[in-house]
Structure 1
């Protein structure tokens, strides 16, 4: 692959004998990049720019291992351009909805991810958004910073308590359960929807009730938080119809994927009061955020930082290295993704 000024590598003009060529599409933690350069023929993205379609096509033709992230669309057409050389997609992140898993499997390309390392970080952010919206922290911060606070009054800046409120969790995997664990400590009641009902023993741990349908969950919840992958079934999972089923003045929190929510339906509900507020970390057209969301006094907008901690990003990088090294040594990588169970 032609080396652009934005790319650096341990060997840009020659192949390193015995080492797999690994192309990384975005900047990783410095210690991770340093270790990759020691172990592999690593091509790094020095200025962290998103790869263009042309750069991505060139990359898959010139590497044994591609390290993509959620910002990369690894579709069947791209994999077709890879030829026979690309053998491993070592994804940075647990979610793989941006990767055409069936196409990768058909071409005998192994796919790995980094499960578990972002669980607590994302759950922490979800709880922060729940508390922040319920206590109107975005609006409170604004009036203080703009010199509009006139002092304490008994009826000033009234928010809502979270103790006793019913939290509806859509997707009760690792992150959903971590959110339930935190919410339980705040005295919240838990109701959840999942493709497969959890064992009764796990439900007892969280004091959680099972909703047989998403409709049932949203109708029963004061706050709904989304922790499921995007696919054909979950695209616009929260739409006009489901928002209409929610309690008047309910709250919506999304740290999953922007495509889970029909954004226009959500904005309409925020503007007419059907939704009291929202806590958002993801959007359907990132990095663009609708101005109506930014303007709403009780919508907290974060820049997709659910996994953005030094510890989590380092742990993910170490998992990627372990997966690549295991594959290069002829073993099945520890975090291999099986289609349908990503």
Structure 2
């Protein structure tokens, strides 16, 4: 047992009332303004901390944790965690967590919104109207693609993919095809109205393709020039997964030369930088990684991350067992720095 309270760093401004819960148990160092932390800044802020609450903007690897000898727990506010070098954390015994489940429906809402906007040319039409071009109207102005009765393809069929499938099948009467590294059980397929097909068949068959698969080295640029060439020239592509899944220059080429009708992106390879070639296109909808950006969902994400952090510091009903640990094997094999379940690791008296 130690006689001090854990020290915690919060990397970005979040929700004050939620983060205030940390102060009941920890000494908290908060970042007051939105800050772009470089490697040196991260290293300095992680030093002497027992736990940290970070966003996807903070990239943490071996260099950043080299001097963080007390660090036990990193709570990532987000589902994805490609901002974390998990092998480096494993080697150091540092447990990390994410925030799954709470943003599934909100992200699916955004994915379907982008699909509708791209297929029906909503953003392009808005810009055309604002530019005073309505007087140039003809019967074929701004013709888009139907969703109802069309074929929806989903690449990646986790929670968000299934939520999108439900919207398409039950809400719009779409035929839903999907490809995933493993096929869903029959009852799950029936519940969302989806049928499993191979990757190439998915590309060739769908009118609209939504990407919701996790980013891995194997999935890097899985949507490349060859994949795009297999799609219908009338098809729509939506990416709400991770930017590296799509070869952006190949996508630009397909959109600019009529080999793909439209696209919508919420994620990019070099966020927050967006390729100027994408910005120059009319037949693409671009949003700044807002998949989970509803007030209720973002608050829920911070709460889940905070609960994970406290558990990793040996506090609360899940003490020593953060529910959403992404490297939970550290807990089971005894190599984690955090306390075992139920063991008090600090004294609240300062």
TM-score, structure 1 normalization:
0.89
Of 185, 194, 198, the residue aligned with 1:199 is 185
For residues 101-136 of structure 1, the C-alpha deviation after alignment (integer angstroms, 9 at most, x for no partner) is 222122211111111111111111110111001111
Which 5+ residue runs of structure 2 have no aligned equivalent? Answer: 330-350
- Greater shift, 273-282 or 216-225, is seen at 216-225
How far apart in 2 are the matches of 1:53 and 1:299? Answer: 34
- Greater shift, 114-123 or 31-40, is seen at 31-40
Matched, 1:117 2:106: no
| Distance change in 2, residues 1:17/1:308 (3 Å) | farther
How far apart in 2 are the matches of 1:244 and 1:339? Answer: 41
1:302 match: 287
Using the TM superposition, give the Cα deviation of residue 17 of structure 1 relative to its aligned residue in structure 2, in angstroms. 6.1
Using the TM superposition, give the Cα deviation of residue 89 of structure 1 relative to its aligned residue in structure 2, in angstroms. 0.9
Q: How many residues end up aligned between the 2 structures?
A: 323
- Greater shift, 34-43 or 100-109, is seen at 34-43
- 1:26–1:50 contact (8 Å) kept in structure 2: no
Using the TM superposition, give the Cα deviation of residue 339 of structure 1 relative to its aligned residue in structure 2, in angstroms. 6.7
How far apart in 2 are the matches of 1:35 and 1:152? Answer: 57
Q: Find the residue that maps to 2:177 and give its secondary structure.
A: strand
- Greater shift, 21-30 or 32-41, is seen at 32-41
Superposition pairs for residues 262-341 of structure 1, below 5 Å? 262-327=247-312, 328-329=314-315, 330-338=319-327
How far apart in 2 are the matches of 1:30 and 1:153? Answer: 53
Using the TM superposition, give the Cα deviation of residue 206 of structure 1 relative to its aligned residue in structure 2, in angstroms. 1.9
2:76 match: 91
Matched, 1:66 2:55: no
Superposition pairs for residues 189-268 of structure 1, below 5 Å? 189-212=175-198, 214-268=199-253
1:167 match: 152
Which 5+ residue runs of structure 1 have no aligned equivalent? Answer: 1-15
| Distance change in 2, residues 1:82/1:226 (3 Å) | farther
How far apart in 2 are the matches of 1:191 and 1:311? Answer: 31
- 2:40–2:64 contact (8 Å) kept in structure 1: no
How far apart in 2 are the matches of 1:59 and 1:27? Answer: 15
TM-score, structure 2 normalization:
0.87
For residues 142-200 of structure 1, the C-alpha deviation after alignment (integer angstroms, 9 at most, x for no partner) is 12212221287543322111112111111111111111111111111111111121001
How far apart in 1 are the matches of 2:157 and 2:6? Answer: 37
Q: CA RMSD in A?
A: 1.9
1:4 match: none
- 1:193–1:217 contact (8 Å) kept in structure 2: yes
